[in-house]
A and B are shown apart, each in its own frame.
Chain A
Amino acid sequence: MANEKFAYAPAPESRAIVDLAPSYGLFIDGEFADAADGTVFKTVSPSSEEVLAEVARAGEADVDRAVKAARKAFGSWGALPGAERGKYLFRIARILQERSRELAVLETLDNGKPIRETRDVDLPLVAAHFFYYAGWADKLAYAGYGPDPRPLGVAGQVIPWNFPLLMLAWKIAPALAAGNTVVLKPAETTPLSALFFADVCRQAGLPRGVVNILPGYGDAGAALVAHPDVDKVAFTGSTQVGRAIARTVAGTRKKVTLELGGKAANIVFDDAPVDQAVEGIVNGIFFNQGHVCCAGSRLLVQESVQEEVLDALRRRMSTLRVGDPLDKNTDVGAINSAEQLARITELAEAGEAEGAQRWAPACELPTSGYWFAPTLFTGVTQAHRIAREEIFGPVLSVLTFRTPAEAVEKANNTPYGLSAGIWTEKGSRILSMASKLRAGVVWANTFNKFDPTSPFGGYKESGYGREGGRHGLEAYLDV
């Protein structure tokens, strides 16, 4: 399909709305402060490698100080009537909505994801999450966990770089609604939106110490998880780190939720609505550059419609617009870091070396920053690394199946079990498949749809515990 006549002019979102300071501190006990040992790190924009700001790097002493602040704040926060806690959360939700454009631009700058996604997905969901859990704050007695469920205390939370502000919302909103206080460590490549959130907390008049933000690296996360005065650990990230956390907290009183990797199967049957299935496949793997733990990274397509579906998919992939994340017409943005780009590149090369056929649409990638073209591998089998390992990038592995039983068998044949997709016009097949797939979320005729009312979490090595919905409260209550 030629697209030359109607070329879209650049439509960049202005970054003037974000007032970036040259440096940021840790947010402890309601104040921004330098790290105890004075160390800092730089955060860069992955689309240009421009240094955005210098950020204080938390160490063990800072973790201790933050946990102490959270512990102190817990006394009064946990004792507040739920309705009062709810008011703070509603206020935070409203401020997030009011500042959504600023935060969307900031997130795009720091993370590299397209403004179209931060504007239309991340920020609306962030606010929705706070609104949703604000509503629970005074109704905990009706959540199904007893007449007067109590908070746990101090929650230590470590979040990833793929949805920095949204993962923060998933962690902080239910924790505060239930009456806990939190110490949160954002990822080292995306610390800024969490620090802006600290400002939102101040703007909302949230009492000191209820929310503490500690930008830093893995060592800070490890110290936080291991801190003896932390009652609850919540982590979203890689399975490898998740295992280390599980080992750290084993034998302690700490309650843990882990939301880890995935290698989801997106299963397309021969009676699927093809055009919408193709949209779902594209959204499943190229949304957020494939930096999505529940990404539909394995396409299982029924062999009888393989050619038809793949032709349509290639045609659709050719229309994806890769480039400047701040351009409002960009569909696929930058890879978050050089490290992640190297991992994606390595796995894609392994795919080729193992004999799968690689294809990517012709697309011009920017010369600076970290970029990877949307890529399709056909002829993939269960034995290939690209069918088993989480790539966490815009790379789709296509496998085929002959019967529903074979689809289930292949879909479940993975150490992970976070999500799955089913595409068929047959309602009974959806129900039958959904009951057999070992995945925390099963989408039917859609993919990557999120809602604060819906619990989210994995089977097997994709983690344990659920976030979101009524189920998400359990992780933060003493039940």
Chain B
Amino acid sequence: MSSVVPAFGPDAPARLAGLADVTASDAALRRFLHGLPGVDAVGLEARAAGLGTRSIKTTAKAYAIDLAISMIDLTTLEGSDTPGKVRALCAKGRRPDPTDPGTPHVAAICVYPDMVAVAREALGEGSGISVASVATAFPAGRVALPVKLADTADAVAAGADEIDMVIDRGAFLSGRYMEVFEEIRAVKQACVRKDETAAHLKVIFENGELSTYDNIRRCSWLAMLAGADFIKTSTGKVAVNATPANTLLMLEAVRDFREAVGVQVGVKPAGGIRTSKDAIKYLVMVNETLGDDWLSPEWFRFGASSLLNDLLMQRQKLSTGRYSGPDYVTVD
């Protein structure tokens, strides 16, 4: 492969077209996905646990904490969300630690589609923070395709920079891979704005529902073949969300995909990552599986809400030597 192109760039579709034969029919796609190497669960989990024992101290810790903050999709996805809540979250995202202006801002604010306009306005111009919106009837995705597409288009029209879609797990689990593939393609199309630019598309698998590691690897390739800019572990709304092992598996998938197709895709673990220690373990996995090329908010994100405050407390402790406690970070 001569060069690597980003999944959201203009050259990616041509690269994907090079694999048109594997997505030419339901049978071809199935053969391809089922031909991927299997995953040994014990070995995968052991590797993830092994990387979790890395000891990240002093300068490395400071780097990791700032990087993790800059990779956060600061999220509120509740029925009780209000404009006030979303504005507060945007303020927090811009200046996570009011006592230290050197603190990096988060990558994005992640909200439901009806809150996109509020977030857009609250962030204003030039904040460097994206507005991400879940769409396609998040989290269950149990509506007809036209409704999903309308949901997506609505969020994009309201100013979303990024769309986090959910796949149809029912279709995937019943083996209708082509249906899932076509749906991702359609949503990707719905992300295109009037001026031909497009919101970045993150594809959520809901690993807890896909259940097996083999399924997660297949789903990763399926989503990347369909044009996903990011692949994302989970909605945060089910019992099992991001785990070190299922995230590691997706990291391996984007690595292999880039190797094979020359298209670079990002990864976003979401749900259940609450402490700095956890976040650093994920960054170690990125570092040792993918290396420098993925160590930026452009290619790796954390879908999280409470994680930010723990990172801020650890950041304060590193700079002052004291652990000041939860009353010294803001509650939003």
Interface residues of A (CB under 8 A from B): 1-11, 116, 120, 271-277, 279-280, 319, 328-329, 425, 445-446
Contact = CB atoms under 8 A, between A and B. Distances in A.
A2 B291 contact: yes
A362 B305 CA distance: 40
A276 B57 contact: no
Interface string B45-70: 01100000111111111011001000
B38 A329 contact: no
A446 B42 contact: yes
Contacts of B63: 5-6
B57 A11 contact: yes
A329 B291 contact: no
Contacts of B287: 3, 5-6
A6 B44 contact: no
Nearest to B63: A6
B67 to A, nearest CB: 8
Contact of A2 (B40, B283, B293): B293
A472 B38 CA distance: 36
A421 to B, nearest CB: 12
Contact of B58 (A9, A274, A279): A9
B46 A328 contact: no
B125 interface: no
B192 interface: no
Nearest to A426: B38
Nearest to A423: B40
Given A276-B43, A446-B43, A8 B60 contact: yes
**Main DSSP-derived SS at the A contact region:** loop
B186 interface: no
22 contacts: A1-B292, A2-B292, A4-B292, A5-B287, A6-B67, A6-B283, A7-B59, A9-B57, A9-B60, A9-B61, A10-B57, A11-B55, A11-B56, A271-B38, A273-B39, A275-B37, A275-B44, A319-B288, A328-B54, A328-B55, A425-B40, A446-B40
Contacts, number: 84
Contact of B40 (A5, A116, A329, A445): A445
A3 B42 contact: no
A276 B44 contact: yes
B292 A329 contact: no
Contact of A280 (B43, B57, B284): B43
A276 B43 CA distance: 5
Contact of B56 (A5, A8, A120, A280): A8
Nearest to A2: B292
Interface string B271-311: 00000000000011001101111010000000000000000
Given A1-B290, A1-B291, A120-B53, A7 B60 contact: yes
Contacts of A329: 54-55
Contacts of A446: 40, 42-43
Given A6-B60, A9-B57, A273-B40, A279 B47 contact: yes
A8 B292 CA distance: 13
A313 to B, nearest CB: 14
Contacts of A1: 290-292
Contacts of A279: 43, 46-47
A276 B40 contact: yes
B252 interface: yes
Contacts of A274: 37
Given A1-B292, A8-B54, A275-B252, 11 more contacts: A2-B291, A3-B288, A6-B64, A6-B292, A8-B57, A9-B59, A10-B57, A11-B55, A276-B39, A276-B43, A279-B43
A464 B43 CA distance: 31
B78 to A, nearest CB: 34
Contacts of A328: 53-55
A96 B291 CA distance: 39
Contacts of A7: 59-60
Contacts of A445: 40, 42-43
Contacts of B292: 1-6
Nearest to B64: A6
Given A1-B290, A273-B39, A445-B42, A6 B295 contact: yes
Which of A4, A6, A11 has the largest number of chain B CB atoms within 10 A?
A6
A276 B54 CA distance: 19
A273 B55 contact: no
B127 to A, nearest CB: 24
A182 B192 CA distance: 78
A274 B259 CA distance: 15
Contacts of B290: 1
Contacts of B40: 273, 276, 425, 445-446
A273 B38 contact: yes
Nearest to B61: A9
A455 to B, nearest CB: 21
A275 B288 CA distance: 13
Which of A275, A276, A328 has the largest number of chain B CB atoms within 10 A?
A275
A272 B47 CA distance: 16
B299 to A, nearest CB: 12
B291 A3 contact: yes
B258 to A, nearest CB: 11
B252 to A, nearest CB: 5
A4 B291 CA distance: 8
B43 A273 contact: yes
Nearest to A318: B291
A271 B40 CA distance: 12
A4 B295 CA distance: 10
A40 to B, nearest CB: 37
A272 B56 CA distance: 33
Nearest to A274: B37
Nearest to B46: A279
Contacts of A3: 287-288, 291-292
Contacts of B46: 279
A411 to B, nearest CB: 20
Contacts of B59: 7, 9
Contacts of A271: 37-38
Contacts of A6: 60, 63-64, 67, 283-284, 287, 292, 295
Contacts of A276: 39-40, 42-44, 47
Which of B42, B55, B293 has the largest number of chain A CB atoms within 10 A?
B55
Given A6-B64, A9-B58, A272-B37, A116 B53 contact: yes
A328 B46 CA distance: 17
B212 to A, nearest CB: 13
A329 B58 CA distance: 14
Nearest to B67: A6
B327 to A, nearest CB: 30
A23 B38 CA distance: 54
Interface string B208-251: 00000000000000000000000000000000000000000000
Nearest to A270: B37
Contacts of A277: 43
A188 B38 CA distance: 46
A5 B53 contact: no
A3 B40 CA distance: 27
A273 B212 CA distance: 14
Contacts of A9: 56-61
Given A445-B43, A446-B43, A273 B295 contact: no
Nearest to A273: B40
